[in-house]
Amino acid sequence: MIAIESRAAQANVWPQTKRIASVDIIDNLAAAETIWRGFEGPNHSVTPYQRFDFLAPWQREVGERGGLSPFIVIARDVAGRPRGLLPLALQTTLGVRCATFMGGTHANFNMGLWEREFAAAATEADLKALLAMLAVSDEVDVLALRQQPLHWRDLQNPLWLLPHEPLAFDCPLRTIRSSATAANLISNSLRRRLRNKERKLQPLAGYRYHIASADADITRLLDWFFRVKSQRLAKQKLPNVFAEPGVSEFIRAACMTKLPYGGRVIEIHALECDEEVIAIWAVVADGNRFSTMFNTYTLSGNARFSPGLLLMRHIIDRFIGQHGCSFDFGIGSDDYKREFCKDDEPTFDSNIPLTVLGRLAAGAMSGVSGAKRLVKRNPALLGVAQNLRSMFRQAA
């Protein structure tokens, strides 16, 4: 554990506030666990992707193999009470020490864990005090904080108060209000199309939708997923991110870990019959929001009946009636997301320099991000980029 409370005593070094008066930096998951889990209660603002039981196996299995070390920031108020926790990982590339959110591409959303009272009242001065303390620690050059939601549930994301830039696409979102029913949550035309498709599958022996609850079922479905997803990506000439070092171990560990109030850190929802698995969706949920992570569907002839969409309809129907519940499919503009989600979750990135070297790195990162936004928002440029990507894959 690297504690910089001794530096915090030098209050004249940075613009101290009552809400953030000192900062601890912890480089050990075990040392941070108790405080981290304390931020997962009802009086705190946290997404399912920042649970300890989601990010700890990611750091052990994926982060460490990728050369990232824990850089967990705990912000305390003048009384020494923890008010916020940033679950970051540190990596040095080309001499630049860069801190990013743990979870990498496997977390659709990245956010700090915040005390609700602090998140509601946080000011720009509070966040600048936090940055100043991190700069004095001289542990990192730049914070590259990707894919952050502007709000989580009914509270602002305090990091939005820092300099930021929008993503090329927001996250399609749908809120399930208390008055929602199966008839009005999904359009009549889509529900009718899916009902007609499901009639083709219902005669299959043992046809069913379920959430895997037994360890043996979870293992069986994940074995099927990794095999079928690999075959599907190979046919599309796409890289298999699930074959990267530690990824399958991380996913299996998170799917096996039980939450204190029931369910798993990652839930596996499945559509299957006695003869085969037809489709699965992996979901993270916290009782107020569920977000999809990954999915695939059968390579058999049953694929023509849109089993992925059928499964998603079952998942949505399951959550109907939960007051204030909402769901999303992650950031992106895929057509199927708009079939279910009519709203948007605004998202942003932040590249925050803490040193002179960090200013150069942050400028370069923002330039790359701006170029990506330009391409993704321009249909003509996006088409050129996709064609070039396809050509390179074929050449490989």
Tens digits of residue pLDDT in 236-253? 999 999 999 999 999 999
Question: Do both 196 and 301 map to the same domain?
Answer: yes
Instruction: Determine the pLDDT at residue 384.
Output: 40
Structure tokens at 65: 């193999």
Instruction: Determine the pLDDT at residue 16.
Output: 59
Instruction: Determine the pLDDT at residue 176.
Output: 77
> Would you say residue 330 lies in a domain?
no
**Domain housing 366:** 2-170+345-395
What is the domain-level CATH number for residue 258?
Answer: 3.40.630.30
Distances (CA, A) of 203 to 74, 195, 208, 301, 312: 55, 13, 11, 15, 20
Residue 168, φ and ψ in degrees, nearest 5: -60, -35
Question: Do both 233 and 104 map to the same domain?
Answer: no
Question: Do both 301 and 364 map to the same domain?
Answer: no
Domain boundary among 263, 289, 323: 323
Instruction: Determine the pLDDT at residue 327.
Output: 86
Cα within 13 Å of Cα(311), Cβ side: 28
Domain boundary among 323, 353, 379: 323
- d(Cα 312, Cα 301) in Å, to the nearest integer? 19
Question: Do both 8 and 140 map to the same domain?
Answer: yes
Cα angle at 43 between 39 and 49, to 5 degrees? 45
Instruction: Determine the pLDDT at residue 171.
Output: 85
> Would you say residue 26 lies in a domain?
yes
Instruction: Determine the pLDDT at residue 385.
Output: 39
Residue 322, φ and ψ in degrees, nearest 5: -80, 110
Question: Among 159, 262, 166, which residue's Cα sits nearest to residue 213?
Answer: 262
> Would you say residue 192 lies in a domain?
yes
Question: Do both 111 and 45 map to the same domain?
Answer: yes
Question: Do both 111 and 225 map to the same domain?
Answer: no
Task: Report DSSP letters for 265-284, one per residue.
Answer: SSEEEEEE-SS-EEEEEEEE
Instruction: Determine the pLDDT at residue 321.
Output: 59
> Would you say residue 335 lies in a domain?
no
Question: Do both 29 and 135 map to the same domain?
Answer: yes
Mapped onto helix, strand or coil, the DSSP state of residue 98 is strand
Instruction: Determine the pLDDT at residue 310.
Output: 95
Question: Do both 226 and 143 map to the same domain?
Answer: no
> Would you say residue 333 lies in a domain?
no
What is the domain-level CATH number for residue 48?
Answer: 3.40.630
> Would you say residue 63 lies in a domain?
yes
Instruction: Determine the pLDDT at residue 82.
Output: 96
Beta pairing partners, 327: 174, 290
> Would you say residue 295 lies in a domain?
yes
Distances (CA, A) of 116 to 56, 120, 325, 390: 23, 6, 19, 46
Question: Do both 38 and 109 map to the same domain?
Answer: yes
Question: Do both 48 and 155 map to the same domain?
Answer: yes
Instruction: Determine the pLDDT at residue 342.
Output: 79
Instruction: Determine the pLDDT at residue 311.
Output: 95
Question: Do both 149 and 6 map to the same domain?
Answer: yes
Q: Using 70 as the pLDDT threshold, list the residues of the chain that sit under it.
A: 1-16, 178-184, 321-324, 368-396
Question: Do both 194 and 138 map to the same domain?
Answer: no
Whole-structure pTM value: 0.88
Distances (CA, A) of 372 to 104, 272, 274, 330, 334: 18, 39, 45, 18, 17
What's the structural domain count of the chain? 2
- d(Cα 164, Cα 159) in Å, to the nearest integer? 9
> Would you say residue 336 lies in a domain?
no
Instruction: Determine the pLDDT at residue 261.
Output: 82
Instruction: Determine the pLDDT at residue 116.
Output: 95
